[in-house]
Structure 1
Amino acid sequence: MMIILVRHGEATHHTQRLTGGWTDSQLTEKGRAQIKAAAVKLAKDFAGRNCKLRILASDLQRASASAQIIAEELGFKGEIEHCRFLREKNNGIAAGMTEEEAKKHFCKPASEQELDHRNYPGGETRNEFYRRNVHGLWHRADVDKENLLIVAHKGTIQNIIFRWLGMDMQQVAAFNFSVDVQPASVTVLGINKWHEHAVFRLNDVSHLTQGKGFGVFEFKYEK
């Protein structure tokens, strides 16, 4: 079995300086091209294989459109399962606002390790977000036995990876742990021959960087 995690491509909230979260932004032309490149490369993996696969996607437009592009490239004959539980973290009243507007409503946590703090009125805490993603997916699918392709968001994919590695949010906070998940990146999880939960590929954007380096200087390092 395998779980393929794909983050949606660049979306209009990135280019229009809107908040992310539950803002229902759409893919930009660049974002569609990014996902098309990922889909073409994934299609090479699936070519000639009779692989039973389910495709699950967040119901927000930027993710559902990304899933449709991938499904078409793979020649997927089933139905894409649009799942509200795969949405990004709920940012409450900040959804749809510009980043400047949202700053007026932002409630700063006492520390970055806060798990039950709401950044915006009506939004989710980190614990609530994690539980929604994890409980939803583990209830919807047999993650240890099915082949799944999941198209979602940075935070959602991070939560799935944390759970796959056996970590709850308390452990994530205690270890100050994270993984980067860039737009249109591909991550592959699976159970290896030693019956371990493995991360076979993480945040792969090689389909976007032909002829370039590893992007060592493009990550969001602490200043």
Structure 2
Amino acid sequence: MRTLYVVTHPEATHHVEGIVGGWHDSLLTPAGVRAAVRVARALRAQIPQGAEVELYSSDLRRCRRVADEVAELFGVRPVLDRRLREKSYGEAGGRPQAWLDRRFVPPPAVGERMAHDEGVADAETKAAWARRVYAATEDILRSPYEHQIIVTHGGSLTFLVASWIKMPIESAGYVSFRAASGSITTLREDDFFHNRQVVSLGDTRHLGPEAG
């Protein structure tokens, strides 16, 4: 039995400052740090004592802060992987959200959606974003650990789940798995049928009143 616990980082400074995140290396806010502690405790409560655990994280600081909290409780060292980053918004990263909103070109309702870059210079296309998250997920799944924790970003969660259920990248143009900041998504594969379940998506019960 393999179980993946996918964490979306909690509130970061770019959320409250109204600037574009993406590859902009923002920090967790004080509320985000408190949520990170709750995430770590929730994972510790779910995973059996004595079980071997592997921990992966985006290399951006807002995810690394969460991974550090988890690592301390489990006594493991996080593996940092830049492929688990959020989408790159190119020249928009770190700029005011209003700046991006004035220039943003939404993907077409029909037609080619994976090659779309939202009209922003140096931004990743959806296809490039999906390919790197898929590749990271596939590498993680080559490891034999039964319990794996992945700390990533809200947008990248979509492609991580899509890769988990083996959705072809060329079919991912419309897919979206939404989850709140600081959430835990649980994915499980059984040993007999090797079916891959989405046990829970974007669970925030561990955050208590702050989640609402």
| Superposed pair shares fold, TM > 0.5 | yes
Instruction: Give the letter for the 1:31 counterpart.
Output: G
Q: Is 1:57–1:81's contact at 8 Å kept on the other side of the alignment?
A: yes
Query: Normalization by structure 1: what TM-score?
Result: 0.84
Deviations 1:148-189 (A, max 9, x none): 10000012111010111121343233xx44221111100111
Partners of 2:197 and 2:47 lie apart in 1 by 20
Q: Is 1:3–1:143's contact at 8 Å kept on the other side of the alignment?
A: no
Instruction: Give the letter for the 1:102 counterpart.
Output: L
Partners of 2:177 and 2:102 lie apart in 1 by 29
Partner of 1:38 in structure 2?
39
Give 1:145 deviation, angstroms: 5.4
SS class of match (1:2)? strand
Q: Is 2:47–2:147's contact at 8 Å kept on the other side of the alignment?
A: no
Instruction: Give the letter for the 1:38 counterpart.
Output: V
Instruction: Give the letter for the 1:85 counterpart.
Output: R
Paired residues for 1:80-95 under 5 Å: 80-95=78-93
Partner of 1:126 in structure 2?
126
**Does 50-59 or 76-85 show the bigger shift?**
76-85
CA RMSD for the aligned pairs?
2.2
Q: Is 1:85–1:137's contact at 8 Å kept on the other side of the alignment?
A: no
Paired residues for 1:73-222 under 5 Å: 74=73, 76-111=74-109, 114-119=113-118, 120-142=120-142, 146-173=146-173, 176-192=174-190, 193-209=192-208
SS class of match (1:34)? helix
Deviations 1:116-153 (A, max 9, x none): 01122111111110101111231354167542100000
Paired residues for 1:3-14 under 5 Å: 3-14=4-15
Give 1:96 deviation, angstroms: 0.9
SS class of match (2:94)? coil
Query: Normalization by structure 2: what TM-score?
Result: 0.88
Structure 1 pair 211–22 and aligned structure 2 pair: CA distance change class (3 A):
closer
Q: Is 1:181–1:203's contact at 8 Å kept on the other side of the alignment?
A: yes
Give 1:101 deviation, angstroms: 2.1
Alignment identity in percent?
Answer: 28
Structure 2 unaligned spans of 5+:
none
Size of the aligned set, in residue pairs, is: 208
**Does 131-140 or 22-31 show the bigger shift?**
131-140
Partners of 2:153 and 2:210 lie apart in 1 by 27
Q: Is 1:55–1:148's contact at 8 Å kept on the other side of the alignment?
A: yes
SS class of match (2:179)? coil
Structure 1 unaligned spans of 5+:
216-223
SS class of match (2:172)? helix
Partner of 1:52 in structure 2?
52
Structure 1 pair 189–151 and aligned structure 2 pair: CA distance change class (3 A):
same
